[in-house]
Structure 1
Amino acid sequence: MRALLPLLSVVRGWRVGAAARPPRRVMSLYLTEERGLPHSEDYRLFFKSVAGHYISAFHDIPLKVDSPKNLFNMVVEIPRWTNAKMEISTEEPMNPIKQDVKSGKLRFIPNIFPHKGYIWNYGAFPQTWEDPYQKDKDTNCTGDNDPVDVCEIGSKVLSRGDVIQVKILGILALIDQDATDWKIITINVNDPEAEKFHDIDDVKKFKPGYLEATLNWFRLYKVPDGKPENKFAFNGEFKNKAFAIEVVNNAHECWKAMLMKKCDHGAISCTNVHVCDSPFRCSPEEARSLIESVPAPSMSKEVSKEEERWHFLD
């Protein structure tokens, strides 16, 4: 039904504590609300419906837009060429986007020559979950306890919090600390070149070198922090569209089981507004109350970002 709705022109609301930033007009079926300063531990980006009700970026945005055409919603966490490691907070009520923290420090991805930050628009598929208690039949590793990661390779630099429709093209299986961390290769359906891309071989044909750069990026991005190179299943081979869609559908089924309380969800917050029959479902008023109960941002200063430093690796 959502696929038949016309795109609505809405205002994205920006807030820092009680102070509002100038709104920016976007085309979307969702609103976002920003709290706290970017590049601070207080920063959160909450999602709302066009009616102004708070929703979960993880649970309330549907995965599938058009099943016969294999169109999916992607939540953009990190715009291309930026360094801040932003992610859907799976453990916080209503699952806002925040910056990852490691060892007490905000996390920024290093620039590895010749790349500046992330080399795609990076984000996640809502309503998917890589089950940490279930071994994958192909990789023989459990899931990484997060939504499935998405790399969007179109020509536009998107914005944090954008919800876009994408076509799945292929998949890479990163193995991170003995867990499967799938990376889905996609393209925005509204990209000027989207009609040329139907499967992973089209990426090789029309964007030569991009998949090799993607593999190399994921292999090396932790090395400047003193960690070893990352490893991959299938010797780093990109699998095709059909394989990728099967992985995404399986992750969607795992998410359904979690939202219906049929498996252990650990520390993940499953609170949602729109998932019918879910025992974790709450009313819009309860969702607002949950968010308003969170302490107000402290207005702490932005941290030093180290985004201009480059790393040259053999």
Structure 2
Amino acid sequence: MGRVLKESGSLRFVRTSKATATVAGVILCLAVSAALAEQIKKTFPTAAKPSLLLHSYNGNIRVRGWDRNEMEIQAERSSPAMEVVVAEGAEKVTVETRPLHSDISGEQSRVDFEIQAPRQASIRVDAHRGEITVEDMQGGVAIEGVSNSVDLSSIQGHVSVRTVEGPITVSDSEGHIEVYSISGSLKLVRVNGPEVVASTNSGSIHYEGDFGLGGTYVLKNYNSPIEILTSSKASFDVTARAVQGLIESNLPFRPIPLGSSFRRLPPGKFLQGRFNSGKSTVQVTSFSGTIRLQGPGPQ
């Protein structure tokens, strides 16, 4: 059985007994009343590679890695009508926001988070609204959003991001990276990995980098521009297809063996070639959008 260590108004800290602490961790029910401050801050020890699961309805979220085996969570509420519940443990930390009544407004439901976690932690965020920023992490990052904008930087590890209509930006990152959106635009800057996939239905795609690590890169959308900016250091084989759109390129590609059904498409609809030694594989597809490949041009 747990025992209450401290209780003040509706702010409660409940710790499990030692025998069950490794399973349940520490439950912090941070339902702060109107009389208390609306900023919440808690720091607690964790393992070197804990997992963080954050469920948020509305609000901005920022997660940063640091070289400490502890986690710091700061939450700022717009209204005491929202409850913040934190279940802390050495291996797993869960954070959740909950409305205290059903007729809460959008602004009242907002809770902003600033979180610092061990750099090796794995991060999962499920959210509906707000900006999500994750930076300087070496564990896996998984994000599911609706109307969220997502910005990831300096990530090493597996990355999976999905939104309904929010834009996604990934920069200075390396690993197995997958970004998907229905209508949000996708931007990848200096992103390398064994497999990189960027897919959106009606959003645009921008890739800026050198397609490194000998990986496979897949960029695809339906009816918006796809822009690729690369340098003379890049090395890749490309296959690009625009069924009803156009392909524009100033890169000096060399021919490579075809053997693909895409050969039936006329010039301006299909492009296949090798840039430098062709270490990576790049596949670009748009049904009716324009595909642009830009780089140093002929030397």
Q: Normalised by the size of structure 1, how large is the TM-score?
A: 0.24
Larger Rg: 2
Q: Normalised by the size of structure 2, how large is the TM-score?
A: 0.25
User: RCO higher in 1 or 2 (8 Å CA, sep ≥ 6)?
Assistant: 1
Larger strand proportion, structure 1 or 2?
2
Larger helix proportion, structure 1 or 2?
1
